[in-house]
Chain A
Amino acid sequence: MAPRTITPFGPQHPVLPEPIQLKLTLEDEKVVDVMPAIGYGHRGIEKACELNEYPKNIYLCERICGICSCIHGITYCEVVESLWPMDIPPRAKYLRTIFSEMSRTHSHLLWLGLLADAFGFESMFMQYWRIREKVLDLLELTAGHRVTQSVSIIGGVRRDIDADMKKHCIEVLKDVRKEVEALSNVLVNDYTVKARTIGKGVLSYDQAIALGCCGPHLRASGVKEDCRMQGYLAYGDLSFEPVVASGGDSYSRAAVRIGETIQAIDLQLEALGKMPEGEIAAKVKGNPPANEATMRVEQPRGEVFYYAKGNGTRNLERLRVRTPTYANIPSLLVMLPGCEMADVPIIVLSIDPCISCTER
């Protein structure tokens, strides 16, 4: 048996924009054991949410994660609305759906770029991020900011999409769809990409369920499970069907995310077409009553779960957030042992780790 060495991977590592440490036990170049060490990004947002008033928490919850910020804000608003419970106008539901899908598009394009960068395909990284800028411009036009939109308020949304914006959005989205399809053709069919990703970090159907994985990571192992199937917001009215792949390896995870990017664009186009006229926000008076509520929403990385408990005052008594990466990290302990040191970045990246979500 070769001597064993323990190598730290992170907390500052070029492939990860965020701090997480993996203690890898190596036998020569082969990984035999892995121990994740998290906690570098912990701020204490859940506790801080108890100190602020209800509307101010939207801004704090959005900053749990900057990539899926819009969806965090929407989920917080949804869970607080169900403390009353109150109804929001149908147009607001559609607008929230459109903003969610827009941020999913930009998040998946970001990930596809980072994946290309992880195996050294830098020009593809640049191409994906070039396309992503178009989606960010749309978010800036409609929601008001590139990354942290704060577009959702309790009772509805803050900004409307008017006829001119709608026309422009449809034009740009169709253009983006064409470009994503053309570029993803390369990613799916390229010999080198296949050699680097097929069979790397395999997670079987049973393992994915036993470890409680979620999101595209779970669907890449063949499990047809997506929170959007519940039909929250306007998803019930749209033609939504989860994207599933069966390989369970890094290649399948990329394929699922490419499928979801294109699906997200289609959902936006459909929602823009079907969007009813009317108010964009309901009037909210007073504080929510003493009550408990939960909400499950599909983020780009998987299922996010919010629990809120109100006590009739201006502040929440308790807010609990369960984020998708926290559920997906245990799968690294199954996927990494047996792989080579050089494949570690791709496998770690394939779960789309979002550390600031995980640690809050």
Chain B
Amino acid sequence: MGIIATSRLKSPWIMHFDNSSCNGCDIEVLACLTPLYDIERFGIVNMGNPKHTDVLVVTGPVNRRTARVLKNLYDQIADPKMVIAVGTCSISGGVFHNCYNVLGGVDKVIPVDVYIPGCAARPEAIIDGVVMALQKLAKLQGVAL
């Protein structure tokens, strides 16, 4: 508790993983980091290393090949961790629901904390989702956001 729990909320580091999305949500996640939306003002930094990560941002539907990679990345992230599924196809498979190589949403493989709908999800919605994840993390740790 105390300083560790508070600082976790003040600067959550995210890692972005693309399952097999169309790129639409990926570029919107990246757009969040750039000047117009600028989620760095919440202390959010994009990381490439799962061991440095607090929040895993996943886009796209899970397919037969990425399921193992996604599970592997999730297992490497230290607790407490949050998972955000961005875009309709990461929730349910969306427009790709009847493609033969698609298993469905991210929650088929790993537990998901926040779902962000939209095709592609707008940056405003993504920011809202990240803030919701932080509120959930605050509640989990019993500290105020």
Contact = CB atoms under 8 A, between A and B. Distances in A.
Nearest to B120: A147
B135 interface: no
A129 B35 contact: yes
B143 interface: no
Contacts of A133: 31, 34-36
B140 interface: no
B48 A13 contact: yes
Nearest to B119: A148
B100 A146 contact: no
Interface residues of B, number: 39
Contacts of B66: 11, 19, 40-41
Nearest to B24: A66
Interface stretch (B3-11, B77-85, B91-99): B91-99
A18 B22 contact: no
B145 interface: no
B99 A17 contact: no
B102 A63 contact: no
A17 B27 contact: yes
A275 to B, nearest CB: 28
Interface in B64-113: 65-66, 69, 73, 89, 95-96, 98-102
A44 interface: yes
A12 B69 contact: yes
A45 B101 CA distance: 9
Nearest to A21: B69
A65 interface: yes
Given A43-B61, A129-B34, A146-B122, A64 B27 contact: no
A19 B18 contact: yes
Contacts, number: 123
Interface string A32-51: 00000001111111011001
A354 interface: yes
A60 interface: yes
A174 B33 CA distance: 26
Contacts of A45: 96, 99
A54 B61 CA distance: 23
Contacts of B19: 19, 41
A271 interface: no
Contact of B100 (A44, A69, A110): A44
Contacts of B73: 12
Given A40-B65, A42-B101, A14 B23 contact: no
A148 B120 contact: yes
Chain A interface, DSSP helix/strand/loop, else mixed: loop
B39 interface: no
Contacts of A148: 22, 24, 119-120
Contacts of A48: 96, 98-100
Given A17-B18, A19-B20, A66-B27, A44 B65 contact: no
A63 B101 contact: no
B122 A69 contact: no
Interface in A4-22: 11-14, 17-19
Contacts of A63: 22, 24, 89, 95-96, 119
Interface in B52-72: 60-61, 63, 65-66, 69
Contact of B22 (A42, A51, A64, A129): A64
25 contacts: A12-B17, A12-B48, A14-B46, A17-B23, A17-B30, A19-B66, A43-B20, A44-B101, A45-B99, A63-B95, A66-B21, A66-B23, A66-B24, A66-B26, A67-B24, A69-B24, A126-B34, A126-B35, A129-B34, A129-B36, A133-B35, A136-B31, A146-B120, A147-B120, A359-B20
Given A14-B46, A18-B26, A148-B24, 15 more contacts: A12-B48, A17-B16, A19-B18, A43-B99, A43-B102, A48-B99, A60-B95, A62-B22, A66-B24, A110-B27, A126-B35, A129-B35, A130-B36, A133-B31, A133-B36
